[in-house]
Chains A and B, each alone.
Chain A
Amino acid sequence: MEMNMLWSSEIFFVGDKFLYASHSSFVTMALRRNLVGCTSFCFPPVFLCWIAAMDYSIDIGSSSFSTKCKLSSRTVSSKSLHKTAQIRLLSRHPEVYEPCDDSFALVDALLADRANLLQHKPRLCMEVGCGSGYVITSLALMLGEENSGVHYFATDINPHAVDVTRATLEAHGVHAEIITTDIASGLHKRLAGMVDVVVVNPPYVPTPEEEVGCEGITASWAGGENGRKVIDRILPVVDELLSGKGWLYMVTLTANNPSQICRLMREKGYASRIIVQRSTEEESLHVIKFWHEDIAEMEGARAVASGPESWLSQFPLKSFWRGGTGSIG
């Protein structure tokens, strides 16, 4: 069974529609679509997880978790296979961050926004901090490559990560230009105003300042005070890189004070919207999309006109933006 889904204890979204369901069963996510023999991913049923329109095969029932994994591994369709990177094809290195909830949330956000992205017709896309290559590979699989006129850049400060990204891209038969660098150093002058889509899963974990920018895998998560040290360096660079119609998708943690990030970006002329909100026992993640306020974001315009779904699409925003900050698409 393949369906687009949203998990909560009360609401399912199927494609663009939603339906209510009251149940207490497991919803296991098809082994992150195609993960075979590895740890699967399951949302704790007590938490509301808001995930917009994903291409998952899902399996709903009440039997054991491991059984669910076996069952759902057979339900993955070829359609979902080619839209995101496959876990079994990922390259690995002990000093490189492996895809985790945050990476999956980012890819889910891109999938949720895929129709808009295709309509957006980006020419250049870029991932800052590509790590394992899971996200940039997924984006390339989602949007197509040269034949669609889309080209990809990926950067990472960790020399092991760029090697792993290269191998992951190759294993999926897609290409991105990879550069070992700090954020976009060396690229930002010439690429200024040219990038139509930037995706970032930054090092957002609050840590002691001295851990920020350390060598190896630490650089992938150490974010200093409030986890903002690197985020606050990335945002001005992204602002420089983005074209007039450019979009940024960024993962944040509640501890990063995302509403303040949105206020900051608003001062630079960006509107923002949460694409994915996901809570686990450990952390609460948001994937936020930013775009130039004076240029209508396509889906935002559409949502206003589309009845009850638009109200629901704003529901998580209202709970999140308690202070009424940020602009909501």
Chain B
Amino acid sequence: MRLLTHNMLSCNIKGVSNGFPLRLEAEKWVEKEVELNADFLRGIFPKIEWKALAGAARAIGYDQLPDEADASMLDSDDFLRRFHHALLELHVEEGALVCPETGRRFPINKGIPNMLLHEDEV
């Protein structure tokens, strides 16, 4: 699971209003090099919740993202490289995503988060 996906996931339990961002508890993660595409990064940037990305990156030991970011930073190659690395090159293999409101844990196995709900949560 890339941090891009973490940034797009929120708790889907019925009645939960504050289900984003899910807290990342990573047990195992890997880095996989991916070709940088500046157009993609500039296009997706406005859709990214920056604090959630920076927080998730820190949770897996990458602290090279600024706490806050704005679109003007996209002119910097150095910023793009860090953004790219955090968003697409870090893969969480094992761990869990935890709902900030209910504490419900959604497991991540073999890089795949499981967002299936129990009957009483739908």
Q: Which of B1, B8, B110 contacts A190 (CB 8 A)?
A: B8
The verdict on A98 contacting chain B, using a C-beta distance below 8 Å, is no
List A residues 164-205 near B (Cβ within 8 Å).
166, 177-182, 185-187, 189-191, 194
Q: Contact string, A155-166, partner B, CB cutoff 8 A, digits 1/0?
A: 001010011001
B2 at the interface (CB under 8 A from A): yes
Q: Say whether A147 contacts B35, CB under 8 Å.
A: yes
Answer yes or no: A153 CB below 8 A from chain B CBs: yes
Residue of A nearest to B42 (CB): A149
* A166-B116 in contact (CB<8A): no
B115 and A123 contact, CB distance less than 8 A:
no
Residue picked from B7, B12, B20, B39, most chain A C-beta under 10 Å:
B12
Taken together as a complex, chains A and B put the C-alpha atoms of A288 and B8 apart, in Å, by 28
Contact with A along B21-61 (1 / 0, CB 8 A): 00000000000001101011001100101000000000000
* A240 close to B (CB within 8 Å): no
| C-alpha spacing A162/B47, complex, angstroms | 26
Query: For the complex, is A151 an interface residue (Cβ under 8 Å from B)?
Result: yes
A211 at the binding interface (Cβ < 8 Å) = no
Residue in contact with A177 in the complex, picked from B4, B10, B12, B43, CB distance below 8 Å: B4
* Cβ contact within 8 Å between A179 and B37: no
Give 1 or 0 for each of B100-117: 1 = CB within 8 Å of chain A CB. Answer: 000000100011111111
Contact B11 A186 (CB under 8 A): yes
Decide if B43 touches A190 in the complex (CB within 8 Å): no
Partner of B5, one of A146, A179, A180, A182: A179
Please pick, from B1, B40, B49, B110, the residue contacting A146 in the complex, using a CB distance under 8 A: B40
CA distance A213 to B51 in the complex (A): 36
Judging by beta carbons under 8 Å apart, are A180 and B116 in contact? Answer: yes
Bound-state CA distance A162–B35 (Å) is 25
Q: Is there contact, CB below 8 Å, between A190 and B111?
A: no
B115 touches A194 (CB 8 A): no
Residue B88 at the chain A interface, CB threshold 8 Å:
yes
Contact assessment for A182 and B116 in the assembled complex, using a CB-CB cutoff below 8 Å: yes
Q: How far is the CB of A116 from chain B (nearest CB, A)?
A: 20
* Beta-carbon contact of B115 and A151 below 8 Å: no
CB-CB < 8 A to A147: which residues of B?
35, 37
Q: List, in ascending order, chain A residues with CB within 8 A of B40's CB.
A: 123, 146, 149, 151
The list of the 7 closest CB pairs from A to B, nearest first, reads: A186-B115, A149-B40, A181-B115, A186-B12, A180-B114, A149-B37, A190-B8
Q: Please, could you name 27 A-B residue pairs with CB atoms under 8 Å apart, sorted by A?
A: A123-B40, A123-B43, A123-B44, A146-B35, A146-B40, A146-B88, A148-B37, A149-B39, A153-B5, A153-B8, A157-B116, A159-B114, A163-B110, A166-B111, A178-B112, A179-B112, A179-B113, A181-B115, A182-B116, A185-B115, A186-B9, A186-B106, A187-B115, A189-B20, A190-B7, A190-B10, A194-B47
Interface residues of B (CB under 8 A from A): 1-2, 4-5, 7-12, 20, 34-35, 37, 39-40, 43-44, 47, 49, 88, 106, 110-117
List 20 additional A-B contacts (Cβ < 8 Å) besides A177-B5, A190-B9.
A146-B37, A146-B40, A147-B37, A148-B37, A149-B40, A163-B112, A177-B1, A178-B111, A179-B5, A179-B112, A180-B112, A181-B12, A181-B114, A186-B12, A186-B106, A187-B115, A189-B10, A189-B20, A190-B20, A191-B8
